[in-house]
Amino acid sequence: MNLNESAQKLPRILVCGPNPSWQKTLTFDEFRPREVNRAKDLDCRASGKGINFARAVRTWGTAVPSAYQFSGGLNGEKLESWLRQEGIEFVSRGIKNETRCCTTVLCRKHACMTELIEPSPSVASDDVAFLKDRILSSLHDADALALCGTLPNGPLDDFYAALASEAVRLGKPVLMDSVAHFDETLAAGVTHLKINSGELLAVTGASDPEAAALALLERFPLRCAAITDGPDKAFIAWQSVIHRISIPPLSGIRNPLGAGDVCSGVMLSELLAGTGPLEAFTSGIAAACASCLTQYAAEFDRAEALRIRGEMRIEAAVPNTN
């Protein structure tokens, strides 16, 4: 069996990341605000939540991703060229406006990251209709749908919800790593939610993230809500119970950009392999940790991720007492 035949037998994930970016990462020995800073290193590559998600799925190796996105201008051309070189399948709708460029500033001395994000481009109604139709027609041959990240500017109010609704009608799991049009999209039938704690509190207006996650299970047809919080404990609300996951200390952190996207991509890959939500999410967190140890966003070593997984612990479930 050749590699192409093997890939055809793997589950296929349709990754909707409509707002990609051309990513520049500048590394400084020490970054000093309000001063002239000269970078030690510059890296440029295709990025954005959908692309990072697809990159993680491809690295994990148990599913095949295909990224769907809007793309425009010189940044869009560079982004598409990079994806071809990397071997990530994609479908782009060309738009007249420039794909945004995002710049990450890494400071080695203080082990910190600053992210500078350009405004999103605007897309026209015919662009939206084109990409939506391509995704809807492709869902029949996909095994799952991932909704990743922000939306560009334009008539996209029901974009995620319409895709989720059709995927659910076809019996496909839908993972959402976004807070765009949050309630409407969850109500459309999203099966798995993965966001960070700050996003959860901001979109729900709650003060307790665990209670907020459990409330989402009651309000929407979610199977689970998986919540990360950087290096702090992550947790998943599943079957009306909270499971907390401890993350081991990491030494040698180089670039945390895209770690959350890695978690989502590996989590959905594992779910399609038949792994339960708790273990799938835990594997995703381990891969996210491994990605923080590499120089480039959303890249990781699978063996390192498995090593980290062996050091992680899941606390006793906390029942819902509300």
Half-sphere exposure (Cβ direction) of 23: Cα atoms closer than 13 Å: 23
Residue with tokens 């203080």: 110
Backbone angles phi, psi at 240, to 5 degrees: 60, 25
Q: What pLDDT, on the 0 to 100 scale, is given for residue 192? A: 98
Bridge-based pairing state of the strands 21-28 and 41-47:
antiparallel
Q: In the structure encoding, which two tokens stand for residue 217, read together?
A: 């299970």
Q: Any idea which architecture 3-319 has in CATH?
A: 3-Layer(aba) Sandwich (3.40)
* Phi, psi (degrees; rounded to nearest 5) at 296: -115, 145
Residue with tokens 């996105």: 69
The pLDDT score that the predictor gives to residue 318 is 60
User: Cα 124 to the chain's mean position, in Å?
Assistant: 25
Q: For 91-124, b where at least 16 C-beta lie within 10 A, e where not — what string? A: bbbebebebbbbbbbbbeeeeebeeeeeebbebe
**DSSP 3-state of 97:** coil
Task: Check pLDDT > 90 for residue 62.
Answer: yes
Residue 4 in this model has a pLDDT that exceeds 70: no
Task: Tell me the two tokens of residue 224.
Answer: 């689970």
**Whether pLDDT at 320 is above 60:** no
**Residue 1: band (very low, low, confident or very high) from pLDDT cuts 50, 70, 90:** very low
pLDDT of residue 316: 62
Confidence grade of residue 252 (pLDDT, cut at 50, 70, 90): confident
Model confidence pLDDT, tens digit, residues 157-207: 999 999 999 999 999 999 999 999 999 999 999 999 999 999 999 999 999
Which backbone phi and psi does 40 adopt, to 5 degrees?
-85, -30
The continuous run of DSSP H or E covering 310 comes out as: helix 302-311
Task: Tell me the DSSP string of 62-105.
Answer: SSEEEEEEEEEHHHHHHHHHHHHHHT-EEEEEEESSPPPEEEEE
